Structure 1
């Protein structure tokens, strides 16, 4: 009887000690979470969110190691075939003729199987090089707003000889330009100005957006990325929908979620460089009929900025009796430019830390 009682006391003591350790760990986790700055990165697909996260990897982490390079190498090589198929199909749909000697090559190219582990046969590489020189496919690429292909595809197709070398490893710029759609949720933690930061990148495709709600808790600042250059392009998922109009509708829905009523929001107007070139030739009125600023970068960019800022400000006052304390900060960026993103972080760091301090008071 005495032995059993002694064992029971020991077990209770051990259990109490375990519970104390668990409780202490939970308290530490809570303190860490309270100190942590959480940035929620949202936006439609192909707006440049993932490129922005890659820049954080470069600026505040260790950059890209050899495993990262090898993984991107496979994607970059596979995309050479994918992009060429997209161009051939686009030329057909746009009724653009290829040189006679390339017509059979193009037809057979469409029947090629998917590339495995970035391994492309030499004869296929030769075909890609021949086809990429074809004036018809060059013309098709110039009309890329009419079909789905990344702007960076020409960057890689121009460098196919280097990419197919046995010892090729992607450069930092190659990795930044490599398009890999985000699926699920990607989280990157880093330290800045004595604070632990966490950026959460959520997939922008329509099928991914239902997962966003699970990341809304404890957000310090909402970052919404808009691709400026997509004002004349159609959505991947629905080619009857203009990409920028979709982005505006999604921003309105996201920023006016009650969770973000008093959360500051940063609007990142990305792909500034591509927009600056496109607006010289394509009028913004193709997206919004009420635009009348002509082929002018300053007028067009300001018009877009006001469109997005207005939907974030008006709703916050109309749906609630209490006035929102939210600020909307707009920045024009080029996510592939490391210095540009570095300067962006310099400009917003104090604002983000101040926002964090107010929520933890």
Structure 2
């Protein structure tokens, strides 16, 4: 009799324990249902880091003073480094400095070797003087060959403001500042009752071995293509075209078995630069089969179709956008469109 009573109590305790476990699992499941993990991919220099900065501006509290101080130092450092790279690369495009610029350039190159974080008044004069040299400007027009970031001209044209003693980077300054991603960076934010996590991994070849560790539980991939780089070569290998690298990387990644049911947001970034470049540089430099000349809409359609053709759509959706990652309004619109889809999937109403 006592044994039966003991067994009943034991069964009752086990039942309550199982109920608690079930409730806990259900709670965890509900929490997971309200989480969205986005994996941000693309080759080096495509604009992934700029998109992360936009998330900070749109959905978080912008850039705190410590982050602004970091960008201030990086912007000033890049101002020196990229100007030196521009000067040193002039021989590659058969250009030379004017006689009065040569001595000035040697001072800048020596300064780079012993670089300090502060951009001095004398250094500002040196860079401004060199930027007035017409051959330096011609070399900058050939920046694709010299691997000089297109944003360097923006910083050169704003050197007076950037070198002010009390300089604080503007949002535009920060958005245009390139710091290559190393390792894995995550950004979390809450929006419309959902918890969002964006995982950003480095796009350089040396960083891609880390990607596979981030593949689990991804609802959507955001893949960024720098569409304007169709005539440029990789930093790591100057025998490889950047746009073709982006295409090959998209094909191998998006059709990986991990992502057979994963949606994709495909962003063709740097459209403003693309529309300017296509007037001067034919798309046939990258795709010999392209025959439609300098019409930017036709060229963009050709590139877009190439990417979309390799995306298996039976079990997943793809959104394709032309954008400029430094355009905050455009990035906000893209996320609003995607958010609408997620809210419908979670059976909740969202008013925009």
Tell me the TM-score normalized by structure 1.
0.86
Residues 268, 321 of structure 2: 8 Å contact kept:
yes
Say yes or no: does 1:197 pair with 2:187.
no
Distance in 2 between residues matched to 1:31 and 1:117, nearest whole Å: 52
1:163-205 deviations in whole A, cap 9, x for unaligned?
A: 1111100001110001101111111111122101111111100
Distance in 2 between residues matched to 1:85 and 1:233, nearest whole Å: 20
1:92 aligned residue: 91
2:323 aligned residue: 333
Distance in 2 between residues matched to 1:92 and 1:66, nearest whole Å: 41
Say yes or no: does 1:342 pair with 2:332.
yes
Distance in 2 between residues matched to 1:36 and 1:146, nearest whole Å: 43
1:61–1:103: structure 2 CA closer, same or farther, 3 Å change rule?
A: same
1:301 aligned residue: 300
Deviation at 1:99, TM superposition (A): 1.4
SS of residue in 2 equivalent to 1:111: helix
2:46 aligned residue: 47
Deviates more, 1:294-303 or 1:327-336: 327-336
Alignment of 1:41-120 (within 5 A): 41-114=40-113, 118-120=117-119
Deviation at 1:266, TM superposition (A): 1.1
Deviation at 1:40, TM superposition (A): 0.4
1:146 aligned residue: 145
1:197-227 deviations in whole A, cap 9, x for unaligned?
A: 1111111000000000011010011110000
Deviates more, 1:214-223 or 1:25-34: 25-34
1:320 aligned residue: none
Residues 78, 115 of structure 1: 8 Å contact kept:
no
SS of residue in 1 equivalent to 2:72: helix
Residues 84, 112 of structure 2: 8 Å contact kept:
no
Distance in 1 between residues matched to 2:79 and 2:247, nearest whole Å: 32
1:26–1:134: structure 2 CA closer, same or farther, 3 Å change rule?
A: farther
Deviation at 1:350, TM superposition (A): 2.0
Deviation at 1:63, TM superposition (A): 0.7
1:33-60 deviations in whole A, cap 9, x for unaligned?
A: 4421011000001100111111111111
1:87–1:216: structure 2 CA closer, same or farther, 3 Å change rule?
A: same
Say yes or no: does 1:216 pair with 2:215.
yes
Residues 221, 355 of structure 1: 8 Å contact kept:
no
Distance in 2 between residues matched to 1:114 and 1:190, nearest whole Å: 41
1:237-269 deviations in whole A, cap 9, x for unaligned?
A: 000000000000000011011011011111100
1:3 aligned residue: none
Deviation at 1:30, TM superposition (A): 6.1
Deviation at 1:25, TM superposition (A): 8.6
Residues 144, 231 of structure 2: 8 Å contact kept:
yes
1:59–1:129: structure 2 CA closer, same or farther, 3 Å change rule?
A: same
Deviation at 1:234, TM superposition (A): 0.5
SS of residue in 1 equivalent to 2:111: coil
1:5 aligned residue: none
Tell me the TM-score normalized by structure 2.
0.88
Residues 93, 139 of structure 2: 8 Å contact kept:
yes
Distance in 2 between residues matched to 1:179 and 1:114, nearest whole Å: 21
Residues 39, 220 of structure 1: 8 Å contact kept:
yes
2:238 aligned residue: 239
Structure 2 unaligned segments of length 5 or more: list them. 1-19, 348-352
Residues 81, 115 of structure 1: 8 Å contact kept:
no
Q: What's the Cα RMSD here? A: 2.1
